[in-house]
């Protein structure tokens, strides 16, 4: 669902936002603006068109009076202005703000910015740049009432673009029910006041866009990939026999040319033999494989060729989807924080903007998806019990309990009913099922415990957290979507030590943690300062000026891109 146009979100009785989808909303807005252009045009006297409306200080004062009167007394304002009336009144009347567009170069700058909205991964067709440009060429002798409407319409268009740029075009959970990020809106009065104080429109937007470096790097990557697309992108490499280092293959020149488009180092090393798969090209292939999340072996097999053949247009779509999701994230991620990127099967820990840790993780299966949300790690539990979620207990464990409760008990499981701990063999499990399961099934700490030796807890309604696992072999795989939704860690004890230190807990080094693990005693350590953790889904990002891509393992990109195109897609 398209983000509501005003900060105060208008809801229907069912809770849905009133705004129509992107394209329908744009058509409504443009029709209203087309009428406005015609009406204001009737107020014009003959005269030369100008790049920006030139107007005297006296006339500006008169226009400003008309702006305030229109906002206070006109019931038939155009819809885009009416939707933002409260913020516009706060700026022009209560704050006493000066006109923002008439008599300034900002009007032409806004038209240019809207026309170039693609540079921010937004759609120029969503904004009325053509109509605003027409309004901007009207003579200064236009009726002052008409000019007041022009001023307000520019402000309304500015606020819409500022909102889309800052917090995204959609409410996250209206696009995808697996996104549980808190919807955000901009402070429209702050936006208007900040624009009035900025040296230029571009300076305002440079400071207004999402502040995390992830976003700025993606914006540059988008420009690069759009330039590649303008040059024709790349063609498809034919599939064929696997090419190993040291071999020759007639496709090698095409592979080299393909990699040179996205890896400048390739072009700097000319080959000795055109068809020889030499060491320099092997290293380039390895860099490419790493950027795609493939096995980094330097062997050009089917999966590597398929990744090379993904069209540049699809890469651009991945960047666009990721930039929209970055806008959904909290504005302040924290000085110290962690990001789990589901699509990359990776965790990163940041401190003051620098990456301090990178770790492979296992995430939920496509039918047990890890949800997207932000929270704070509040405590670390060593030698944890695994309290089996009711759904897993009934669907997966109950059939085993009915057939062989002793085998389940041998894995360390027990049942809890009230204050009693029951041996599994003492219960007639055939009497119980969905809707009638008065037990908490849990697994005691130990070598077989599904949570391993430690879990990092941020209590949440999704019952998702970070933890160890005895299934260590899964971390050797490139795609790691195997859990029931929780996030399994490749090096959990190392991360536990880092989290305790980041959380202001003293005295918990690796030696102490290992001693507690060896004791098999369940121990909870509370963080003095909860550590932000952001569970995300980013299929594109930039490392060291190089763009990385991952597959759309959950199909989230497909849903978002369909929504941006005004289409619906089944969940």
Question: Quick one: 47 exposed, middle or buried, by C-beta within 10 A (0-12, 13-18, 19+)?
Answer: exposed
C-alpha distances (whole Å) from 127 to each of 50, 86, 105, 132 are 22, 21, 19, 9
Q: Would you say the C-alpha torsion 313, 266, 283, 356 has a positive or negative sign? A: negative
User: Cβ atoms within 10 A of the Cβ of 401, count?
Assistant: 23
Q: Which of 5, 484, 486, 534 is catalytic?
A: 486
**Known active-site residue 5:** no
Reported as type and span, the H/E element at residue 380 is strand 373-382
Nearest of 100, 113, 104, 99 to residue 53 by alpha carbon = 104
C-alpha distances (whole Å) from 101 to each of 107, 148, 255, 414 are 5, 10, 52, 70
Reported as type and span, the H/E element at residue 510 is helix 510-519
Nearest of 31, 219, 32 to residue 122 by alpha carbon = 219
CA–CA gap between residue 507 and residue 410 (Å, rounded): 36
Helix axes 201-208, 188-197, angle to 10 degrees: 140
Contact 21, 2 (CB under 8 A): yes
Reported as type and span, the H/E element at residue 196 is helix 188-197
- Residue 467, helix vs strand vs coil: strand
CA–CA gap between residue 370 and residue 360 (Å, rounded): 15
Q: Which of 467, 484, 534, 556 is catalytic?
A: 467
CA–CA gap between residue 440 and residue 421 (Å, rounded): 9
Q: Strand pairing of 466-467 and 487-489?
A: parallel
Alpha helices by DSSP H, 16-143: 22-42, 57-73, 79-82, 85-89, 106-115, 129-136
User: Across the strands, what pairs with 349?
Assistant: 338, 357
Residue 454: DSSP 8-state: E
User: Cβ atoms within 10 A of the Cβ of 350, count?
Assistant: 21
- Residue 332, helix vs strand vs coil: coil
Active-site positions read: 467, 486
């Amino acid at each position: 669902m398209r983000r509501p146009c005003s900060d105060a979100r208008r809801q229907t009785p069912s809770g849905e936002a009133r705004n129509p989808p992107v394209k329908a909303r744009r058509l409504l807005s443009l029709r209203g603006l087309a009428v406005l252009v015609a009406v204001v045009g009737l107020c014009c006297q003959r005269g030369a068109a100008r790049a920006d409306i030139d107007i005297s200080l006296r006339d500006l004062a008169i226009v400003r009076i008309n702006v305030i009167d229109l906002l206070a007394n006109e019931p038939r304002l155009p819809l885009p202005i009416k939707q933002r009336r409260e913020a516009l009144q706060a700026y022009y009347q209560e704050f006493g703000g000066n006109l923002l567009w008439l008599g300034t170069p900002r009007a032409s700058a806004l038209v240019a910015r809207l026309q170039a909205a693609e540079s921010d991964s937004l759609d120029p067709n969503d904004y009325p740049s053509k109509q605003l440009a027409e309004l901007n060429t009207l003579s200064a002798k236009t009726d002052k009432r008409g000019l007041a409407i022009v001023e307000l319409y520019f402000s309304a268009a500015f606020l819409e673009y500022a909102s889309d740029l800052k917090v995204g075009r959609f409410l996250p959970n209206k696009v995808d029910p697996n996104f549980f990020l808190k919807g955000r809106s901009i402070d429209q009065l702050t936006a208007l006041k900040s624009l009035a104080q900025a040296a230029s429109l571009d300076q305002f937007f440079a400071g207004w866009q999402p502040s995390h470096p992830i976003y700025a790097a993606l914006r540059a990557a988008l420009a690069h990939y759009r330039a590649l697309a303008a040059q024709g992108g790349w063609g498809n490499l034919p599939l064929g026999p696997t090419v190993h280092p040291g071999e020759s293959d007639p496709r090698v020149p095409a592979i080299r040319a393909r990699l040179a488009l996205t890896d400048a180092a390739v072009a700097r090393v000319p080959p000795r033999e055109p068809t020889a798969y030499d060491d320099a090209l092997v290293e380039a292939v390895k860099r490419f494989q790493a950027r795609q999340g493939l096995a980094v072996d330097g062997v050009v097999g089917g999966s590597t060729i398929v990744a090379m053949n993904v069209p540049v247009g699809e890469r651009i779509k991945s960047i666009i989807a990721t930039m929209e999701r970055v806008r959904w994230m909290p504005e302040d991620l924290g000085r110290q924080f962690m990001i789990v990127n589901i699509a990359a099967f990776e965790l990163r820990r940041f401190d003051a903007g620098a990456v301090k840790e990178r770790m492979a993780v296992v995430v939920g299966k496509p039918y047990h998806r890890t949800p997207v949300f932000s929270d704070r790690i509040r405590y670390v539990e060593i030698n944890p019990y695994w309290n089996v979620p009711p759904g897993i207990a009934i669907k997966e464990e109950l059939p085993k309990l009915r057939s062989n409760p002793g085998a389940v008990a041998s894995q360390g499981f027990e049942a809890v009913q009230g204050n009693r701990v029951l041996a599994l063999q003492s219960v007639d499990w055939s009497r119980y099922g969905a809707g009638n399961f008065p037990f908490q099934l849990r697994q005691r700490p130990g070598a077989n415990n599904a949570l391993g030796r430690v879990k990092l807890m941020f209590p949440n309604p999704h019952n998702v957290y970070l933890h160890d696992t005895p299934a260590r072999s899964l971390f050797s795989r490139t795609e790691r979507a195997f859990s029931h939704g929780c996030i399994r860690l490749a090096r959990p004890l190392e991360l536990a030590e880092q989290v305790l230190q980041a959380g202001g807990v003293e005295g918990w080094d690796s030696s102490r943690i290992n001693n507690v693990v060896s004791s098999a005693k369940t121990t909870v350590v509370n963080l003095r300062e909860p550590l932000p953790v952001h569970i995300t889904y980013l299929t594109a990002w930039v490392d060291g000026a190089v763009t990385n891509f991952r597959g759309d393992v959950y199909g989230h990109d497909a849903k978002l891109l369909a929504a941006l195109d005004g289409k619906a897609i089944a969940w």
